[in-house]
Structure 1
């Protein structure tokens, strides 16, 4: 197919070896957050759910993956180190693949990290009609729900499915729960944008891990979930009511 960028999910599969990190507080003034030491579980790891943004780094294929997995010590969540992890059995993935656009890992002076940014690739037109699928990155301190609504409004999208991973500052859920951790790793289980009373509204059901390794899941509160470092998104336009837009 020649896909160059997009998003994939996988809800099963065995991996060995498997390496990952969790969010951690930064020890310097140059970064808002950092990573834990690398975890190296003994034996194989069984994936519960993985979500990966697909792009490139230094001209080679690269993925940024958050997920939940089962180790010999119990269920864990974090940032999978893809270059140090191996698939131990065939794994079926589903997702959205694009040609002509991708995410590229670039230096970001605001955060002092190398982060995925949406870019065009080559001279060919994107493989989907304009505005049918959008690649986006939300920057620090922007509310994730509001940012998604603004992106959709700017491109004339009235309904969409939203996929992505990133980090949020002290996550707040719609039911009143709060994750009091500055550094987090987040993945969207299910994301939707739709018109309610003439206004765009974002519904995000997410999973998040804090710096202590605790996993939390739920629906995000509105107007109270600022991005910490980055949030990478693949937004696919759909017809009101949930049917995908053709293209």
Structure 2
């Protein structure tokens, strides 16, 4: 399997897996607010500091985003492109958001697929403070209790990354059993999540999240050669001890790719952030 050598010493702990409770939510996003403020504010009004949201159908203007790029020096294994700034309203087709805390302030990490005024589909990493909700919108989300995503400096990758960490309060009250997970580089994302779910009693779960992969192999034999990609899980599930992840992603040329990941063939590039929620019924 592909392997990327990052600039710092590999961390001994290769994933953080924190049992928690996930609460289904509907969030009202306010026009005129940054995407960061709109999502984290709506979560806070519902009583949560961390969680996951889908931004499907949200209109954004201005929209600012980046795609993965080669690192300019050896201080990182990958970096970001110059900022893309499409004119007019951009319609998010689908996007995933992990919400948490960075530098003691609410912060989101968002990857998705969108269409600009020209109608072309593009994908990447949305810049949350520079992109603004153009019209009031209602989106689905999960708030989590008993865990939080907190950004920490990471010596291995030389990035500040979300880490899933346990927090006190509310983990036994309502909601569904869930796991907040953050995954370090080079392990296969499907196999890691299978082990996490199995070890924590989630035999049947829906899996939500975003991250980066070092090249991508799909079950239909398509291959994306970019050593850095920006990925969202569009449909993930743990069923009968096997993890199936349908994803959408941007490669280093900005092309959009979609499909089901081949198990055992897709190593994490920099990080992956996941919320696995026990399936109801």
TM-score calculated relative to the size of structure 1: 0.91
> After superposition, what is the alpha-carbon deviation per residue over 1:191-245, rounded to whole angstroms, capped at 9, x for unaligned?
01111xxxx111111111100011110111111000000000000012xxxxx16
1:233 aligns with 2:233: no
- The alignment status of 1:5 with 2:46, answered yes or no, reads no
Q: Specify the alignment match of 1:112 in structure 2.
A: 158
Contact 2:187 2:267 in 1 (8 A): yes
What are the equivalent positions in structure 2 for 1:1-247 lying under 5 Å apart? 1-73=46-118, 74-121=120-167, 123-126=168-171, 132-195=177-240, 200-238=241-279, 244=280
Question: Which secondary structure state, in structure 2, belongs to the residue aligned with residue 202 of structure 1?
Answer: strand
| Other-structure match for 2:4 | none
- What is the DSSP-based 3-state SS (H/G/I as helix, E as strand, rest coil) of the residue aligned with 1:141? coil
CA RMSD of aligned residues (A): 1.6
Cα distance in 2 between the residues matched to 1:213 and 1:127: 43
The Cα offsets for residues 111-133 of structure 1, whole Å up to 9 and x where unpaired, read as 00000111234x42426579811
1:4–1:100 Cα contact (<8 Å) kept: no
What TM-score do you get using the length of structure 2 for normalisation? 0.80
Is contact 2:66–2:83 with CA below 8 Å preserved after alignment? yes
Number of aligned positions between the proteins: 235
Contact 1:98-1:128 within 8 A present in 2 as well: no
Tell me, yes or no, if the aligned pair for 2:59 and 2:134 is still in contact at 8 Å: yes
Give how far 1:10 is off.
2.0
CA offsets, 1:101-157, max 9 Å, x none? 210111011100000111234x42426579811100111000000000110121122
- SS of alignment partner, residue 96 of structure 2: strand
Shift of 1:69: 0.8
Taking the aligned partners of 1:88 and 1:156, their CA distance within structure 2 comes to 41
Q: Which residue of 2 aligns with 1:241?
A: none
The alignment partner of 2:194 has SS state of helix
Quickly say closer, same or farther: Cα 1:127–1:75, change in 2 above 3 A. farther
**How far apart are the structure 1 equivalents of 2:175 and 2:145?**
12
Q: Which runs of 5+ in 1 are unaligned?
A: 239-243
